[in-house]
């Protein structure tokens, strides 16, 4: 049974960097049949996919176009975790942030395991 545990600050100042970490237990960040995603949720934007990292003989990343210039998602195999870094934040980045496992099987891909969520507020 996979468990995703998120950590990071709940308050970030405008123009600074939002940093969150997701610890994985019960699975491996390097598993070939999974990808590791960040999704956020706000009343104004709903559920919004931000990006993912995954291993297929080497590491890959995909990012949502609207944040592509500001986002980095990194795996850490030594700690079996992955992280989100979102630079130059504005109040529009205020949201609940989730780390999510994307499980990939013959039946297709699905977001089957979610972290507990962290409310990140961007405010001075």
Partner 1 sequence: AIQLTQSPSSLSASVGDRVTITCRASQGISSALAWFQQKPGQPPKLLIYDASSLESGVPSRFSGGGSGTDFTLTISSLQPEDVATFYCQQFNSYPPTFGPGTKVDIK
Q: Name 55's Cβ contacts closer than 8 Å, sequence gap at least 6.
A: 29, 30, 31, 32, 75
Tell me how crowded residue 67 is: count the other CB atoms within 10 A of its CB.
17
116 touching partner 1, by CB under 8 A: yes
> Which CB, 16 or 31, lies closer to partner 1?
31
Closest approach, Cβ 58 to partner 1, in A, equals 19
> Which CB, 11 or 109, lies closer to partner 1?
109
Binders of partner 1 among residues 36 to 65 (CB under 8 A) are 46-49, 62, 64-65
> Which CB, 14 or 26, lies closer to partner 1?
26
114 touching partner 1, by CB under 8 A: yes
> Which CB, 1 or 78, lies closer to partner 1?
1
Closest C-alpha among 5, 78, 89 to residue 50: 89
Judged on CB neighbours under 10 Å (0-12, 13-18, 19+), 56 is exposed
Tell me how crowded residue 87 is: count the other CB atoms within 10 A of its CB.
14
Residue 61 pairs in a beta bridge with: 53
List contacts with partner 1 (CB under 8 A): 46-49, 62, 64-65, 98, 107-112, 114-117
């Amino acid at each position: 049974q996979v468990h995703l545990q998120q950590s990071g600050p709940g308050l970030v100042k405008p123009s600074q960097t939002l940093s969150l970490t997701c610890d994985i237990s019960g699975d491996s960040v390097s598993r070939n049949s999974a990808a590791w995603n960040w999704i956020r949720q706000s009343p104004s934007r709903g559920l919004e996919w931000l990006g993912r990292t995954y291993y297929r003989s080497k590491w890959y990343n995909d990012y949502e176009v609207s944040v592509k210039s500001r986002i980095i998602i990194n795996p850490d195999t030594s700690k079996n975790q992955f992280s989100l870094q979102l630079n130059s934040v504005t109040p529009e980045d205020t949201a609940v942030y989730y780390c999510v496992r994307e499980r990939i099987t013959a039946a297709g891909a699905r977001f089957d395991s979610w972290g507990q969520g962290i409310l990140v507020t961007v405010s001075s």
